Amino acid sequence: MNEKRRYTFEVSKTELGRFLRTLADSLENDAAQVEEFGLDLSNMRKMKLSAKSWPDEPFHLKVKVTPWQAEEGDDDEGEEAVYARLKKRMKAYYKELGANLRANQQPSREIVTVFLQDCARMTEFIGYGDEFYPGFTQACQEFQEAFDREELAAMQRAFDHIESLKDRCHDRYK
C-alpha cells in the first residue's frame, strides 16, 4: 500500500527560493527525486506545500507527496474528502453556536449534539493537530456538561476554551 510521504524543513527565505527552483527543475525534468532535499517524487499523484514564518524566524516548510495507489487500498482521496466535508459542517455549526452564545441564547440540542459528535470524529484524523486533541476533547466535554446543566455562562467559558484551542491548532496546521 502506498502512503503519503511527508517532509518538514526549517529554511531561510533564500533556501526556500532555492528549494522551489530545484523542485521546479526536478518536475520539469521528470526526476523521481529532489536529491538535494531528499524528496521522493516517484509515482506522484499530488503534492501539497506549505511555507509559514513569523517575523525574524525561518520558514517552516512542509511537503506532502501522495502517490498513486498501485493496488486497491484505503482511499486517500476519500479520507480527505470526508475530512473536508466534516470541517465545512463544523464551521457552520461553530458559527451558529457562537452566535447563540454571544446573544446569550441557549443553542439548540440538535446543533450541540451534531457539533460535539463532529468534534469527536475530527479528533480521529491523525496528523491534523494530534497534540491538541486531548485538551480539545476535554473542553468539548466541559461544554456538553454545561449544556446539560443549562448553565449559559459555563457554556460560554467552555466555548471560549474550545475556540482558543481551535485557533492555536489552526495557526499551527493551516
Global confidence as pTM = 0.55
Express each pLDDT in 37-51 by its tens digit: 888 888 888 899 999
Choose from 27-31, 37-41, 64-68, 150-154 the range with maximum mean pLDDT: 150-154
Q: Flag whether pLDDT at 4 surpasses 90.
A: no
Q: What share of the chain is helix, strand, coil (3-state, %, to 5)?
A: 60, 15, 25
Q: Which CATH architecture has domain 76-173?
A: Up-down Bundle (1.20)
Per residue in 108-132, pLDDT (tens digit) is 998 999 999 999 988 888 877 888 8
pLDDT score of 81? 79
Ordered by start, the domain boundaries in the chain are 5-67, 76-173
CB atoms within 10 A of CB 149: 10
The residue whose grid cell reads 451558529 is 96
Q: Which three cell numbers stand for residue 131?
A: 497534540
